[in-house]
Amino acid sequence: MKKLVTILFVSISCSLWAQNAFNMKEAVDYALENNLNVKNQKLEYLVAKKQNLEVLSIGFPKINANADYTNFFELPVSLLPGEIFGAPGRFIPVKFGLPHNFKLNFEASQMIFDGRYFVGVKATKDVLKLMDYQITKIEVDTRKSVSNAYVAALVAQESYRLVKSNESTLERLLFETRELYKSGFAEELDVNRLELALANLQTTIKDIENKVKNSKEALKYQMNIPVQQEITLTENLDSLINGATPILDNTGFNPQNRIEYSMLNMQKTLLGYDTKQKHAGYYPGVYAFASYSVNAQRSKFNFFNNEQWFRQGLWGVTMKVSIFDGLTRYASVQQAKIKELEANNTLENFNNGVRLENSVAENNYKSALQALEDQKKNLALAKKINNKTKVMFKEGVGNSFAISQSDADMVTAQLNYIQAVYNLLTSKIALDAAQGKLNN
């Protein structure tokens, strides 16, 4: 039984760990399912579908029912000529009607033709396409932000690992130097310099440790994971570097690969529908209508007995034609046409801007590749100098100042290398975004 409980506990622990462990792709996929901006955009799509149904419903039949009860506690008075009652020259007040009146009325209407409606129906499908593009856009933004946040957290974590590894080496060297000092084979100045170097390194470690915490919390925010929940980054930094250094081929770049191009183009199309809809207001609208009602008048409130009810029914067709509206519609149509021209300019400006963005991103990427190679060489050289300096110190031909300086140079080289890795990975993400490769 005890063994079973242990196995169960380990299984649950592994399951919980798996839920909190992410490589970059898993982090992006998780964010696409849970990021609140993505969720809200999908809800906006549902709102747009209901709005389209609202537009379509304008062409559906409309049926209404009204029930009216009126109580004349004082009946209206009419004046009749006295000649009717044998009193010429006078007006005789007479009350007509009964105090209790009830009317039940049914009305129906149906649009037969309205140019504005049919243009609006055509536009509804493209409205949903635009909402689809907007969902894709927010997903692209989420992929980019989560990828950048993941890289920042992973790089901070790797920085901490590298710098932390120097701490144990420097602590061991400080211990050995103190022992040599106690034996009279080293100077107090050597001990003090190593103590200062260790203190500076530990300050750097604390700073990087804080950056690791902050970067992970930023990643959790992008993924919509509670801040208090721990997550583990399982991605290998080397694999990300290898994935970010393919052969650069930009010959197939096309601004139309960007989701923003589809959005702007669809917005231009919808503006065209808006112009057509406003222009359709010049055409006549034809509508059918029908009405059926029953009413009764009683001296007492007894509408539910078998006394007589009076019926009335009618139907007809009406046509509405705008003869002159004071140039209101003309001004509205002209505004819509101007907005179409503005949309064309916006699309052209986007094409120019995205080509510039791609060129800058490509230049930054190439520069980051070169900088990574340079920092890799600098790091190898710093390691070589640091190792040789420590060997010379142990052999008695070096000094603590040289060790302190080489340790500081080593840490600087490590951090510069990690920064170069970060610049390469983020520049690759920016290049992919500029070329529309984050759409899927």
| Residue 226 token pair | 């509670």
Q: Where are the domains of the chain?
A: 16-60+114-284+321-434
Query: Are the C-beta atoms of 422 and 155 separated by less than 8 Å?
Result: yes
pLDDT in tens, 14-31: 444 445 899 999 999 999
Half-sphere exposure of 199 (CA within 13 A, CB side): 6
Do 333 and 278 touch, CB atoms closer than 8 A? yes
Question: Which of residues 185 and 386 earns the better pLDDT score?
Answer: 386
Render 320-350 in DSSP notation, one character per residue.
Answer: E-----TTHHHHHHHHHHHHHHHHHHHHHHH
Indicate the pLDDT class of residue 58, thresholds 50, 70 and 90.
Answer: very high
N-terminal to C-terminal alpha carbon distance within the chain: 49
How high is the pLDDT of residue 252? 63
402-416 burial, b for 16+ CB within 10 Å, e for fewer?
A: bbbbbbbbbbebbbb
Give the residue from 371, 357, 383, 436 showing the smallest Cα distance to 144: 436
Taken in order 83, 86, 89, 90, is the CA torsion positive or negative? negative
pLDDT, residue 416, reads: 94
3-state secondary structure 134-200: HHHHHHHHHHHHHHHHHHHHHHHHHHHHHHHHHHHHHHHHHHHHHHHHHCCCCCHHHHHHHHHHHHH
8 Å CB contact between 44 and 236 = no
Average pLDDT over residues 130-140: 96
Burial grade of 121 (CB within 10 A; 0-12, 13-18, 19 or more): middle
For 326: left if phi > 0, alpha if psi spans -120 to 50, otherwise beta; the answer is: left
Calculate the average pLDDT of the chain.
88
pLDDT at 44 > cutoff 90:
yes
pLDDT band at 5 (very low <50, low <70, confident <90, very high): very low
pLDDT in tens, 264-312: 999 999 999 999 999 998 899 999 999 999 999 888 888 777 788 889 9
Average pLDDT over residues 243-253: 68
What is the per-residue pLDDT for 16? 42
Q: Would you put residue 370 in left (φ > 0), alpha (ψ -120 to 50) or beta?
A: alpha
**What are 335-379's pLDDT values in tens digits?**
999 999 999 999 999 999 999 999 999 999 999 999 999 999 999
Burial 264-286 (b: 16+ CB within 10 A, else e): bbbbbbebbbbbbbbbbbeeebe
Tokens of 301: 């409130």
What number is the average pLDDT over the span 104-132?
Answer: 94
Count the helices and strands in the chain (H runs, E runs).
9, 8
Find out whether 287 and 318 touch, Cβ atoms under 8 Å.
yes
pLDDT band, very low/low/confident/very high, at 166 (cuts 50, 70, 90): confident
Residues in CB range of 192: below 8 A, 6 or more apart:
none
Highest mean pLDDT among 16-25, 82-91, 125-134: 125-134
- The CATH code belonging to domain 16-60+114-284+321-434 is 1.20.1600.10
H-assigned helices in 183-258: 188-223, 237-243
127's tokens: 């409205």
pTM: 0.82
Counting residues of the chain whose pLDDT is more than 90, the rounded percentage is 60
Query: Residue range 95-124: average pLDDT?
Result: 92
Mean pLDDT score, 153-170: 89
Residue 95 region by backbone torsions, left for phi larger than 0, else alpha for psi between -120 and 50, else beta: beta
How long a stretch of residues is the chain? 440
